[in-house]
Amino acid sequence: MKEDLAKVRNFALGAHTGAGKTSLGEAMLFMAGATTRLNKVDQGNSVLDFEPEEVKRKITISAAFYTFDWNKYTFHLIDTPGDFNFIAETQTVLHGADGVVIVVDAVDGVKVQTEKVWELAETLEHPRVIFISKVDKDRADFKRVVEDIRNNFGDKCVPVTMPIGLGEQFKGVVDVLHGKAFIYPEPESKQFNTQDVPPEFASDVETYRDQLVERIAEADDGLLEKYLEQGALDPEEIEKGLRMAITSRKLVPILCGSGVTGIGVVQFMDFMARYFPSPIDRGERTGKTPDGQPASRKPLTEEPFSALVIKTLNDPYAGRLTIMRVFSGTVSSDSTVYNATKKSKERFGSLLLLQGKTQKQISEAGPGSVVAVAKLKDTMTGDTLCDEKQPILYELLPLPPVVYSLAVEPKSRGDEEKIFSSLARLMEEDVALKLERNDETKEMILSGMGEIHIEATVDKLQRKFGVEVNLRLPKVPYKETIRGKARVQGKYKKQTGGRGQYGDCWIEIEPLPRGEGFKFVDKIVGGVIPKQFIPAVEKGIVEAAKEGVLAGYPTIDFKVDLVDGSYHPVDSSELAFKIAGSMAFKKAAMEAKPVLLEPIMYMEITVPDDCMGDIIGDLNGRRGRVLGMESRGKKQIIKALVPMVEVLRYAPDLRSMTAGRGMFVMRFDHYEEVPLQLQEKIIEQAKAEKEKESK
């Protein structure tokens, strides 16, 4: 697929859920003739949101890719998820873009996920364009939303188009830079009329144009000098400077329109073709060599081939589909490339150009392209593919930590292995999913970014692999310990008519500091217990400690001294002393003031200033201890220790308390005693569960 790199545009659409991002993408495809009708998310016929889980929820869950042509330009469009549950997917695929179109709702303005996409684009040094969508909706307010954008992202955000009418009266857009008005006689039409700017818009057009020219001048020293001297720039200088200002991220143009009616979308695409940076404008991509030295590749066809894998899809029938962004050189079908991450070779079959859920075979691809190849054996998301003779490694940003976990159990007996293998396939697609088996609670734990993330994964598990599961909150891995000392005898004696069983031991038990585990000390003297039976006593204690004495939880942080005992020359055996050790532990633990321990989590919660009081109050209600606070811009980071049982559902709770603006990270810190008033309830619950399991 030979193409003029100066006419390649590679960009991602990013937004808060419901802002109209996918609708804008659908309108672009329709206006460009890539689709024959203006498909709608609400009608379930979107070619970008085509997964059944997306159609059901009417949100983007999985990034979609579509390559199409517009006025002799090639557009590689990436439609990213807008819900925080799928932020890891958005973050990963943004590595494959040259810039981001941030879509903002003309009614609701900037929301939390808008800020997150902006931050990711900033971190990746991506140029941005803002598109104010849904101008045709009731209560749409262009000027208020522009002010909201500038308050959040700075005055480098300047309108280059503005709406003619709002709500039902929205019928066209004004081009601020060129002083033209574009009127659409009918919604969902590709036809529009060009005319002079209506007089009532003249003042706003002049204001916005002055702001634009000022920003363009500030992007180049030569232009700034002329602007300061003469107070104006030539049209050619403005044209050239506008593109330079966007590429250097000193200007973020604001355009407007409606993805549902298509009004303003042609002007938006013309703007993208004319001013958005090409792969050449973005310049070289930096990485490192396999031995850690800095390396880079220019976006030229004559450079060695290099590409980054930004997504993996698994189909039960078609196999694995690997989606990559080509940064340098060219790659053709039926070629062999080097996976620098895995240090292995991969043989390509057909190269595929992605167009929603369909693909089109191509013979080769160059810089800027987003293409797919099927059935690679080792390659996964985040891997670098390149020329073996000149290897390079590109790195992804660290993924956000998982914040929500649920226990997964099969609906049908014997499906455990099928669950593991099927979820492993889905984890290849979704880099934010984590699956582990908790040896203490004997549960499979599926972790992700939130409730919707895990629920959508389970839906996909059933649809793709026919596996049905139940979800529930994970069990809390309580533990038991002792607070006192005891000296007891464990004696096992059994006569069965022939050879009997005899084991007798005396132990002393005492607590150890938290985190010390278990210590066993052999203090036997005079051979009262033969040496070959002493390990059996320890084994009996260890096995009994796994079940505890209060509620069946493992006992930790205690020391046992084996101090005395007796044996029978015929009837004693390892089994008898093992049972004696177990009996001794159970008796000793009950006498040594046993208590229940609960896991305590260390949390760092990032919230806006105005939410801080509510969050601290909520933490106190969860038996949390606030350790301190730290300011970071307009946000506060609250550091706290909270019992695990109190924060099993903290992800959705925090989102609700902060309107989605709060985030947190959490890790296990230590174990503490459960308050006495709660111990009885936990013990009763544990016993009830055991009875239920035994039936």
pLDDT at 102: 98
Phi and psi for 392 in degrees, rounded to 5?
-145, 150
CA distance 383 to 381: 6
**Sheet with 518-522, edge to edge strand ranges:** 486-494, 501-511, 558-566, 518-522
Question: Can you tell me whether residue 616 is helix, strand or coil?
Answer: helix
**pLDDT over threshold 70, residue 394:** yes
Instruction: Calculate the CA 249 to chain-centre distance.
Output: 26
Q: Which helix (H) or strand (E) holds 459?
A: helix 451-465
Give residue-wise pLDDT tens across range 329-377. Answer: 999 998 999 999 999 999 998 899 999 988 899 999 999 999 999 989 9
DSSP per-residue letters across 87-106:
HHHHHHHHTT-S-EEEEEET
Which residue(s) pair with 608 in the sheet? 635
Which residue(s) pair with 555 in the sheet? 480
**pLDDT over threshold 70, residue 622:** yes
Among 268, 255, 271, 270, which residue's Cα sits nearest to residue 135?
255
Read off the tokens for 120.
Answer: 């990711």
pLDDT at 413: 76
CA distance 115 to 123: 12
Read off the tokens for 570.
Answer: 């015929």
pLDDT at 117: 95
Read off the tokens for 418.
Answer: 């099928």
Helices (H) and strands (E) in the chain, counts: 17, 36
CA distance 245 to 261: 30
**Looking at residues 296-302, what average pLDDT do you find?**
95
CA distance 23 to 79: 10
Cα atoms found within 13 Å of the Cα of residue 84, Cβ hemisphere only: 25
pLDDT at 3: 63
Q: Which helix (H) or strand (E) holds 144?
A: helix 142-153
CA pseudo-torsion sign 604, 605, 608, 614: negative
pLDDT at 408: 93
Give residue-wise pLDDT tens across range 131-148. Answer: 999 999 999 999 999 999
Alpha-carbon Rg for the chain, nearest whole angstrom, is 32
**pLDDT over threshold 50, residue 503:** yes
Give residue-wise pLDDT tens across range 309-340. Answer: 999 988 766 678 999 999 999 999 989 999 99
CB 365 within 8 A of CB 1: yes
Among 1, 30, 26, which residue's Cα sits nearest to residue 13?
26
Which residue(s) pair with 67 in the sheet? 76
Q: What is the DSSP letter of 179?
A: T
pLDDT at 663: 86
**Looking at residues 598-607, what average pLDDT do you find?**
94
**pLDDT over threshold 80, residue 306:** yes
Whole-angstrom CA distances from 276 to 5, 202, 273 are: 13, 26, 6
pLDDT > 90 fraction of the chain, expressed in percent and rounded: 76
pLDDT at 229: 80
Give residue-wise pLDDT tens across range 34-75. Answer: 999 999 988 888 999 888 888 888 889 899 999 999 999 999
Give residue-wise pLDDT tens across range 222-259. Answer: 888 887 888 788 888 888 899 999 999 999 999 999 99
Question: Token pair 């191509």 is at which residue?
Answer: 362
pLDDT at 497: 67
CA angle 633, 637, 643 (to 5 degrees): 170
**Looking at residues 591-601, what average pLDDT do you find?**
96
**pLDDT over threshold 60, residue 1:** no
Most distant CA atoms of the chain, gap in Å: 116
Task: Return mean pLDDT, the chain.
Answer: 92
CA distance 92 to 310: 6
**pLDDT over threshold 90, residue 498:** no
